[in-house]
Amino acid sequence: MNEFLSNHGTELLIKTGEHLYISFVAILLGVVVAVPLGILFSRIPKMADRLISFVGILQTIPSLAILAFFIPLLGVGKLPAILALFFYSLLPILRNTYIGIQGVNASVREAGKGMGMSNWQSIMKLELPLALPVIMAGIRLSTVYLIGWATLAAFIGGGGLGDFIFDGLNLYQPVLIIAGTVPATILALLADRLLAIVEQKLTPTGMKESYEAA
């Protein structure tokens, strides 16, 4: 163990950094795109189901294949890796945003509208805060998946902890495989905990208590 750390310690830190970077940027892009899209879908519920199934099809494409598809388009490196992971983050966040917003009590929404809230005010002051726990669940799910899948980025030269795993596979060195896997797992768990805390902080007080009361 000590020997491994003295040989690969710095590399491990760098790779972990890369791994985090790839996952983080992909998930950030995912949130930035999927949350507004989910809100938009909630405004066109008739179309929404079909659109969501379409996004679902993207999800079913095997991850290795999607990474490979991006090589002719964007070459190798971090960018295609991030882009591919971004596609995977979309569905859970999109679907949870849509379901979360749909799930906001219709009477609360009607009251808001009847009081004279504009569409924008209704989204910002009512629907997003009330749908937040469901949206956050989608983001957490995506994040955990993405940190796992980000190991595949190594396959197209994106770097990250995947490099250790591929090296280990090629060189028949189980230690390297473990050196890639364990930190990735720990990262995923840590990210999930962190997001849980963020969710706690963002959930409006009145709602936390009403969940507890329920």
Partner 1 sequence: MLEFKNVTKVYDGGKTAVKKLNLKINKGEFVCFIGPSGCGKTTTMKMVNRLIDISDGTILVDGKDIKQQDPVQLRRSIGYVIQQIGLMPHMTIKENIVLVGTLLKWPEEKKNERAKELIKLVGLPTEYLDKYPHELSGGQQQRIGVLRALAVNPPLILMDEPFGALDPITRDALQDEFKKLQKELHKTIIFVTHDMDEALKLADRVVIMRDGEVVQADTPEEILRNPANEFVEEFLGKERLIQGRPDVTTVGQIMEGTPITVQENESLKNAISIMRDKHVDSLLVLDQQEKLVGFIDIEIINLNYKKATLVNEVMEKEFLYVEKDSLLRDTVHKILRRGVKYVPVVDEEKKLVGIVTRATLANLVYDTIWGDGFDVEEHVDLEIAK
Q: Which residues bind partner 1 (CB under 8 A)?
A: 105-108, 110-118, 121, 126, 129-130, 204-207, 209-210, 213
Nearer to partner 1 among residue 118 and residue 173 (C-beta): 118
- What's the token pair of residue 138? 């989608």
Nearer to partner 1 among residue 1 and residue 106 (C-beta): 106
Least distance from partner 1 to the Cβ atom of residue 38, Å: 19
Q: Are 131 and 104 in contact (CB under 8 A)?
A: yes
Closest by Cα among 175, 184, 174, 178 to 152: 184
Nearer to partner 1 among residue 2 and residue 205 (C-beta): 205
Least distance from partner 1 to the Cβ atom of residue 85, Å: 33
Rounded Cα–Cα distance for residues 75 and 148 (Å): 22
In the DSSP assignment, the letter for residue 79 is H
Least distance from partner 1 to the Cβ atom of residue 113, Å: 7
Least distance from partner 1 to the Cβ atom of residue 111, Å: 3
166, with CB counted inside 10 A (0-12, 13-18, 19+), is middle
Nearer to partner 1 among residue 190 and residue 207 (C-beta): 207
Q: Are 41 and 90 in contact (CB under 8 A)?
A: no
Nearer to partner 1 among residue 49 and residue 209 (C-beta): 209
Helices (H), 75-173: 78-102, 106-115, 119-121, 128-149, 162-171
Least distance from partner 1 to the Cβ atom of residue 206, Å: 4
- What's the token pair of residue 3? 């020997």
